[in-house]
Amino acid sequence: MTYELAIGDRAYSSWSLRGWLPFDAFGLPVQVRTARLYSDALPALLAEFPPARTVPVMRTPEGTVVADSLAIAEELASRHPEAGIWPADPAHRAVARALAAEMHAGFAPLRQHCPMNLRVSYTNCEPPAAVRADLDRIEAIWADARRRCRSTGDWLCGAYSAADAVFAPVAARIAGYGLPVGPEAAAYVAAHLRHPSFRRWRAMALVDGPDQETYRRDHPQRPWPGPAPLPARAVAEGTPENALCPYSGQPVSDLMEIGGRTFGFCNPFCRDKTVADPEAWPAFMEFLRED
């Protein structure tokens, strides 16, 4: 039983990230189809998911189309109650749903001034008053959720939930634009940057097509503040230690080098997403740990 999910550019489409995270973070099977934003490919892809007009959009195994990231999360939660997409405690679940709804409907100044771009990080983007007001509100509701849910770990309502998934692009904006937040909010942002699913998405975002010029900003840049990836590079020649791709099981054709060792993958994207952040991919790390 596999779902189908249509998304836009991973580097820029914050709603696509929100739609994809519940699948990866909670281990639900999904086949992903992508189309570049602002291109003819996107409406052509959406035409296969009527009546959807925007990404993300999901098709269930029996063929029902569900558009909108929050609707996708709710539908998955109802179909997979064992996954823990929402908190099990009713009071905590109510807090989580309220958080998700506010994020879904609000914070337009933050979105407009700081569109998600996972390929860069800036030292300062000079946020105007309206963006600072959004940040104040975000910090307040994060702190309130942690207090009401008595959350002492990384996440807002106990274990990682859909409430955290919807705020992942906000965390990416705070990290990417060097936005000013307090220590508790900064720790929450850091938890997102090191979350395995977020790292996988960002690794793919770094190699998922060319830059979109509409997202370019002239702010001073800095290194991405998340975990530093292991050094790796694509190579044209070499003898790989593996005959089959760690992801697809298909014969290898594209090579990478890491720590003086060579590994193969079945296509350039499999290789390049691994080069971008090897530790984000457990299947590859199993190969790497083998002597």
pLDDT tens-place string over residues 73-110 = 999 999 999 999 999 999 999 999 999 999 999 999 99
What's the mean per-residue pLDDT of the chain? 97
**Quick one: pLDDT at residue 91?**
98
In a domain, 218, yes or no: no
Give SS3 for 244: strand
The pLDDT-based confidence of 289 (bands split at 50, 70, 90) is confident
Domain co-membership, 79 together with 96 = no
pLDDT tens-place string over residues 232-251 = 999 999 999 999 999 999 99
In this structure, what CATH number is given to the domain that contains residue 154? 1.20.1050
Give the DSSP H or E segment for 255: strand 254-258
Q: How far apart are CA 145 and CA 102, in angstroms?
A: 13
Domain co-membership, 66 together with 108 = no
In a domain, 160, yes or no: yes
Domain co-membership, 181 together with 135 = yes
The pLDDT-based confidence of 58 (bands split at 50, 70, 90) is very high
In a domain, 245, yes or no: yes
**Quick one: pLDDT at residue 291?**
60
- Could you give the number of structural domains in the chain? 3
In this structure, what CATH number is given to the domain that contains residue 44? 3.40.30.10
Domain range enclosing 253: 233-289
Q: Please enumerate in sequence order all residues whose Cβ is within 8 A of that of 271, keeping only pairs 6 or more positions apart, or say none.
A: 234, 254, 255, 256, 264, 265
Section 176-199 average pLDDT: 98
In a domain, 181, yes or no: yes
Q: Please enumerate in sequence order all residues whose Cβ is within 8 A of that of 232, keeping only pairs 6 or more positions apart, or say none.
A: 256, 257, 258, 274, 275, 278
Q: How far apart are CA 60 and CA 75, in angstroms?
A: 9
| Domain's final residue, options 52, 83, 114 | 83
Domain co-membership, 71 together with 160 = no
| Domain's final residue, options 83, 100, 119 | 83
Distance, first Cα to last Cα, the chain: 36
